[in-house]
Every structure is written in structure tokens, then in C-alpha cells.
Structure 1
Amino acid sequence: MTAELLVNVTPSETRVAYIDGGILQEIHVEREAKRGIAGNIYKGRVSRVLPGMQAAFVDIGLEKAAFLHASDIMPHTECVARDEQKNFNVRDIVELVHQGQDLMVQVVKDPLGTKGARLTTDITLPSRYLVFMPDASHVGVSQRIESEVERERLKRIVSAYCDEQGGYIIRTAAEGVREEELSQDAAYLKRLWTKVMERKRRNVTKCKLYGELALAHRILRDFAGQALDRIRVDSRLTYELLVEFTSEYMPEMTEKLEHYNGRQPIFDLYDVENEIQRALERKVELKSGGYLIIDQTEAMTTIDINTGAFVGHRNLEETIFNTNTEATQAIARQLRLRNLGGIIIIDFIDMANEDHRRRVLHSLEQALSKDRVKTGIHGFSALGLVEMTRKRTRESVEHVLCSDCPTCHGRGTVKTVETVCYEILREIVRVHHAYDADRFLVYASVAVGDALKSEESHALAEVEIFVGKQVKVQIEPLYSQEQFDVVMM
């Protein structure tokens, strides 16, 4: 099975699709007007300290002040042994920062909805094989590199590059890489860090010291080490920039780059446009006839599994087990495709058989092992729900491509015609008691107006008798179902 990246570029937007085995697995969208800032380094100023929340707001020059928690003002602990981590105690926020203080911070989460960006003072700079950690003295190795011999080899090589400037984390892509390439990465990161420090000394507060790479460059860097067969780009300028970038930092990927100039739009090659549309829908059909219902909320994402039209071949238990097992593959793909993060609650169909529950959980773990984003599964809860987490650093595809519905304002439902009719009738009575009017004119949507003139006409007639005034209904085609006006004449 082939794996490839499709890069679609327009002046205002860049989209990258990851195709594996002819099926869309990931979609990344970046708009020039709303470029993500995760990874950017800023020189900011503390605008408020909140002891009750153990946090501070930092002005980094954005529309909303960014959020810095006391736990994010910590030294590098991601690669330190667990027993050593106990020595790192989170101190009181008032001991760590004060209002008006200048800080160098890095964005770990883009602004999401009404929330500002999330910050850390624990600066890191990523490259192809390494992550530079200023002021650290140790070397950490990605847990995904399982061979102990390889871990020790890499650690020995990279330890030689540690000095007073900082230490490194060795990324998964470094497995099997030669010393020369690791040396080049380390030198590049040190040059980059030197430039950041120069800008910090030179620039005033509330300025950007380092900007994360553009989407296409970032995806190529992050996919280094992945088994890619080719990378097709439909923009000549972006293709040339990527050739220049890969030639310097990842030469083995340069030969995989192709400039796509076919007459058919690049995303039509694998039906990507339709897949994106399907990724915005609540319902995901399974091949067996079952389906998933995915609901994204502010606090968490919930996924419900149903057998639907799938009736099975043997018995109910086997049908439920097969549906749940098939759902694990679909769930893993949808999490990647929709870029869902944070807390995820999965409501599998109830299984009485303990062995079935264990096998479904194992199937989910196997399916998620292909995910490049860190995930954690916490097993079945007392209520039979599977609780899991997926690291969230950027907005989901739905948040990038969609906004709240102007009719329901994000509720996902609208009031029924009957409900709106009764609201209108109550409003007529309320206005009658409050003001003196000769008659009433009601402006309403087509559906509501038709209902008041037909099935609800008896209720309207009763209100006319009660208020002793004539009520005329006028249909407004541009009104939404919930919209109406009661006017005194």
C-alpha cells in the first residue's frame, strides 16, 4: 500500500492531505489570515497575576491575553525519570511572576474559541531528528524507539552536543540515523537559538522572536522518518520552496517531491473533498451497517456506537462484538481526520463478555498506535464507557472550517413550529396587557405563518376573543423559524 502527501495551495489557504492505502487519513488546513501560532516564541509582559487560579495572563501582542499556569513555569521534565520528577515542585504563582514582568514564552496551544493561547516558559525548538531544550543538561529519547541498543547509541552521540546552551530530546525519526545527520541537526538548532536570543536582546516587549514553519514545511518535517512514497504539490512556487527546504534539512525526501500540474484538481485524485465534507457530519457509517455518532463539545468529544442495520450472523453478543471491533478502526481514523483532541468518551455497545471487552480495548489500542499524536486510553469506566485522551495543540477541522449556525446559534436544534406559535400567542397577550392597541400584526416565517393560519388557527381565534382585538398574520420569507415580531396597529 502506498502512502503519500497531497499539498493543495491557494493564495489564501494551504491544505495538506495524508493518504495511506488510497484512503484519506489526515487533513491539515492553514489559512494565511489565521495562521496557527503554536510553537511560536514571544517576548511578552505579565498583565495580570491570578493567585486563585495559580496562573497569569501575558500580553504577547495578540487580540487576547495568553494564559500561563504555574505548572508551565517549570524546567524540562518530559525526559526525566519519574522518581526525579518528584523533586520538581510547582511553586506559588506569586513567587514566580509579577505584574509588569517581561517573560520569554512559547505557545503550546493555539487560541481555541473564547480562550486565549496557552503558554509555557519551557522553551523547545524542534528540527527533523532532535528537539533543543535551552538551559537543560540532559538527553531524552522518544519512547517509541524501543530498541535499548539503539537508544543507548543515539544517547551517546547526542550527549556530545550538550553544553551550557542546552540539551536535546531525540525524536522517533532519529532511529537508525547516522551521526553526521544528528550533528547537522544539533548545529542548526544552536544557530536558531542564537538568533532567538539576539532578537530577544534587540527587541522591545510584545514581539515575536521565532515563528513556527509554514504548514507544508512543518508537515514534511513531522513526517520525516514515515514511509512516504511521494509528495505531490500543485503550486510551482511552494514546490520550489519545499525542494530548497528538504535539500538542506532532509535530502532523502527531495526525490519524493513532485510538482503536480494535472488538469484534475489534486484533491480529486482520492475524493478528498467529499471525505472532508463527511468529516464534518455527526454520523459515520460503518461497512457492516452500524454507525458512529460523534459530538464535539467545549469540554469533551463523545462517540456513540450503534448496530444500526447490522443484524449479524450468529447471536446478539457476536453482533455487538463485531460492531464494536469494526468501530475501533473507524474511531482511530476519525480522531486523526477530524483532529479531535482533549477528553474523548466512547460509548461502545454494552458487552457482557469480559473477554470481548478486553479484545475491543486491545483493538482500539492497536488502531491508535498509528496516530502520530500522543494518545492515552484509560479503559472502561464503572459506567461501561471508555475514557481516553488525545493531545490537542491545534483546532479541530470543524472549528477551522465551520462557525455556529446563525439560526440555532450552535445549539444544534431549533424550536418546533408549534413552540414558536405558542410563544407568539403568549406575546400577543403580554403586549395587550402592557399597551393599548387597536389590533395586532404578526410577522412570522413561512412554516410558522402557515401553521397559525391552519392547524393553530383555533388557538389564534381563542386569543383574539380573549384580547378582544383582531390579529393578522403576515408571512416573512426571510425570517428563520424562531424569528417573529408582534406589532401593534
Structure 2
Amino acid sequence: MSGIELYIDDIDGRLHAAVLRRGILTDLYVDALDQDACWGSVYLGKVLKIDKKLDAALIDLGGGVTGLLPAKYVYLQNSGEAADHSGIADLLKPGQMILVQVRAEAKRLSLHEQHKMPRLTMLVNLSGQYLTHSPVARQVTISSNIENEKVLKFTAKLKGKGGWLVQPNAEHASEEQMQTEANLLRAEWEQIQAVTETSGERPRLVRAGPNAALRALNDYSAARFDHIYAGSKHCLEIVMQWAARHEPPLAESKRLRLFRPEKPGQRLYDINDIYSELEMLEEQIVPLAGGGSIIIEPTHAVIMIDVNQGSATNIAAVNQEAAAETARQIRLRNLSGAILVDFIGMNQKSERIRLSDVMQQLLLGDHAAAEVHGFTRLGIIEITRKRRTATLSEKRKVYLGK
């Protein structure tokens, strides 16, 4: 038993997927109400404008949505390498139709500020449970954790058939499972190409990115949930469709359950006080059990997290507890970019190194690629986390004037 459970429900028109480890909320996936360009979505876009100052192209994605394609994310067909160039103007021309994928959702600031456009790439990635397929690339990469001889043998067959990444999940996969998934991903790419060829000069969405439930199922596919609870038949159907493709036995398993209220008005997220946890994520101050607290202050440039000792007396213990809660809050709030954490002062270099190592270990399982860069001269620890989807606060306040 992994001790991991997934709770999927529609709340206020938004799909939520909450991951609990032994009853504690540790990860959260949420869809925005009016998402324009979701992470992972594939578009047939039209080049609107070349911006030499940004060394990027503005891409019309259709429906009034514009994305930004930096020159370093312009890839040549069947190479998987960024195009060799002296500038974006050498690569793309206004009016040109290109296939792009959303690598980072738009950053929505406030009603009174210009919103940053979704970031795009021409290196399309199609992910399954064991494999990630990059059709325009050529390189085959194997996770360093893979030691299964059958998997390694199968991987050799992928060479010359586009780019592939063999994920850590594949360690316990059979050759048949690997082959089935490879065929599905190739078929998905063929469908994308077919839609593209019949779209003419009209920008459009070709393939929608994964919703909150699918992101959770994909990210935790190797962990094997003890139970998956669906708050509605709609949520159950999402899991059933995913299971039909990736884990057929799950559809008939007792691990998958449709929530049935025990009393009038009860909802799925009343279990384990998930609703209360969601409300706490709107608070700036997060109390720690030992008497300290952390204060989370997002700014336009960085996210500041300050550790307060409060009534606690053991500084080392407060810092350890704060490190664990900081890693948890980063995931739950989906914070990204530059994150600076100001722990309580440590005089010894060995203490700072130890805390930095602890922070790195706590973020190892993060699916959004977080990295700890150590301490600055001012004693503040630096963390960067790759942006995939919008932050939780952005999704909650979009166009609501909050």
C-alpha cells in the first residue's frame, strides 16, 4: 500500500484533483474557469509578428489568443535540435503556419496589468505512462533509473522513429505494454498531422492539454493510488477513459470509487477536511505545529517566503519543519519561477549546507522540476521551479477583480 489517494471533484465549475498521503493533502491540481491555452495543448498557429528585440515571434493561436515563441524554441523537423540562426527573423516569417505546443501557461497578474502570454515551443511532446514521444526529434533518452533488460532491449527498437524519452515508470513495464503505448503515441501524432493538413490557413486548437485529473493521474502513475475517489459521474468517466488506455484493470477495481454522500449536502472534499485545507491556501501566513510560521509573499519578480520563530525555542527544529511545509506549500499553491526562502539565522556553514540538502530532498518528487541553488550571501536560500500551469491564486482571481 502506497498510502496515496486521489480525490477528483468539480468545485464552482473548476475541476480539482487533490492528492493525499496518509490523510494529508500534499499536491493539488486545479483547472481555471476560462483557460485560454492550457499547458500541453497543441495548436496550429500563424506567425503574426517578429519581435527582434525579444528575439521571439508572436503566434496567433485562434480565438483571440496570442502566444510567444522565443527563437530558442524553434526546432527543425526531424532534428530535435534548436535551429541554428542569427535571429528569429531568419527562421520564421509573418503569415507562416506552424505547429506549436504550450510549455507554460499565461501569467495573469491583475485586471490593471498586461498579462504575460503563454510560452510556446515547436518541440511537441506527447506523454504516456511509460514513454514521452517527440515526433520532430531523433534522440532516444533512457531514464538513469531503468535497469530492466527487456525495457532496454525494446528501447533499441525506437531508434530512427522520432524522439523518445523512456520514463522511470517503465522499469516495471512489459515489452507488450511499452509497444502498445508507443503505438498509441504514434497514432496520436498521426491524428494531429491529419487535423493540421485539413485546417488550411486557420489557426486552431489541434489537441487539448490534460485537465487537472489527467495531470494528477499521469504524474502519479508510477505511485499507484490506493484509492481514487470521483465526486461525480463526470469525474468517474474521466478516470475510466484514462484507465482504458493506461491501466485497464483499474476500471473494474475496488480502488476506483464513485463518492456517495452519507448525509444531505455532503461533498467529496468534506472528507479529510480537504475544503478547510483549500481555504487555508488563500492565507498568507501558514502556522507550524511547533509554534513557528512561514509567511508567503508573491511579488512580480520573485516569491518571498519568510520563516518566523514565533513561540518555538529550537531554531533548528523550526527550520526543519519550515522546510517541509515550504516544499508542501510550493506544490499546493503551484508556485513557480524564482523563490527565496529566508530561514531563521544559522551561524554555521554546515547548518546551511544540511538545510539546503534537506530542501533538495523534499523537492525531489516535484513534477514541475524544482531546483535548490543554495544560500545567498545574505543567508537566503534560492529555489527555482519550472512553470507549467498557472498558480493557484491566478486561477482563483482571474477576471474577478481580486
TM-score, normalized by length of structure 2? 0.90
Which amino acid is the alignment partner of residue 334 of structure 2?
Answer: N
The match for 1:449 is: none
Per-residue deviation, residues 374-417 of structure 1 (Å, max 9, x unmatched): 111110112211111111111111111135996xxx7xxxxxxx
Where do 1:159-174 residues align within 5 Å? 159-164=156-161, 166-174=162-170
Distance 1:185 1:405, change over 3 A: closer
The match for 2:368 is: 373
Which amino acid is the alignment partner of residue 230 of structure 1?
Answer: H
Which amino acid is the alignment partner of residue 292 of structure 1?
Answer: I
Cα distance in 2 between the residues matched to 1:25 and 1:76: 40
SS in 1 for 2:172: coil
Distance 1:91 1:158, change over 3 A: farther
Per-residue deviation, residues 200-225 of structure 1 (Å, max 9, x unmatched): 11112211121223332332233211
Does residue 332 of the first structure (1) align with residue 334 of the second (2)? no
Query: Higher helix proportion, which one?
Result: 1
The answer to whether the 8 A contact 1:9-1:234 is kept is yes
Distance 1:367 1:11, change over 3 A: closer
The answer to whether the 8 A contact 1:41-1:211 is kept is yes
Instruction: Select the residue among 215, 218, 221 that pairs with 1:218.
Output: 215
The answer to whether the 8 A contact 1:60-1:207 is kept is yes
Measure how far apart 1:172 and its partner are.
Answer: 2.2
Instruction: Select the residue among 190, 198, 204 that pairs with 1:207.
Output: 204
The answer to whether the 8 A contact 1:7-1:216 is kept is yes
The match for 2:378 is: 383
The match for 1:96 is: 91
Distance 1:361 1:75, change over 3 A: farther
The match for 1:29 is: 30
The answer to whether the 8 A contact 1:43-1:209 is kept is yes
SS in 1 for 2:107: coil
SS in 1 for 2:347: coil
The match for 2:346 is: 351
- 97-106 or 184-193: which moved more? 97-106
Per-residue deviation, residues 284-314 of structure 1 (Å, max 9, x unmatched): 111111110101122221101110111x2xx
Which amino acid is the alignment partner of residue 40 of structure 1?
Answer: S
SS in 2 for 1:388: strand
Report the aligned-residue RMSD: 2.4
Distance 1:241 1:284, change over 3 A: closer
Measure how far apart 1:30 and its partner are.
Answer: 1.6
Measure how far apart 1:90 and its partner are.
Answer: 5.6
Does residue 248 of the first structure (1) align with residue 248 of the second (2)? no
Per-residue deviation, residues 107-149 of structure 1 (Å, max 9, x unmatched): 1111211011111111111112111111322211235x2x5x3
Does residue 38 of the first structure (1) align with residue 39 of the second (2)? yes
Which amino acid is the alignment partner of residue 44 of structure 1?
Answer: G
Does residue 238 of the first structure (1) align with residue 239 of the second (2)? no
The answer to whether the 8 A contact 1:128-1:250 is kept is no
Which amino acid is the alignment partner of residue 387 of structure 1?
Answer: E
The match for 2:286 is: 284
The match for 1:137 is: 138
The answer to whether the 8 A contact 1:12-1:33 is kept is no
Measure how far apart 1:35 and its partner are.
Answer: 6.4
The match for 1:260 is: 259
The answer to whether the 8 A contact 2:32-2:396 is kept is no
TM-score, normalized by length of structure 1? 0.75
Where do 1:297-446 residues align within 5 Å? 297-310=299-312, 312=313, 319-402=314-397
The match for 2:112 is: none
Distance 1:240 1:99, change over 3 A: closer
Larger Rg: 1
Measure how far apart 1:33 and its partner are.
Answer: 3.6
The match for 1:425 is: none
The answer to whether the 8 A contact 1:70-1:91 is kept is no
Which amino acid is the alignment partner of residue 262 of structure 1?
Answer: P
Which 5+ residue runs of structure 1 have no aligned equivalent?
A: 313-318, 411-489
The answer to whether the 8 A contact 1:140-1:155 is kept is no
Instruction: Select the residue among 193, 199, 213 that pairs with 1:197.
Output: 193
Identical amino acids, percent of aligned pairs: 27
Measure how far apart 1:179 and its partner are.
Answer: 0.7
Where do 1:58-97 residues align within 5 Å? 58-74=59-75, 89=84, 91-97=86-92
The match for 1:414 is: none
Paired positions, count: 389
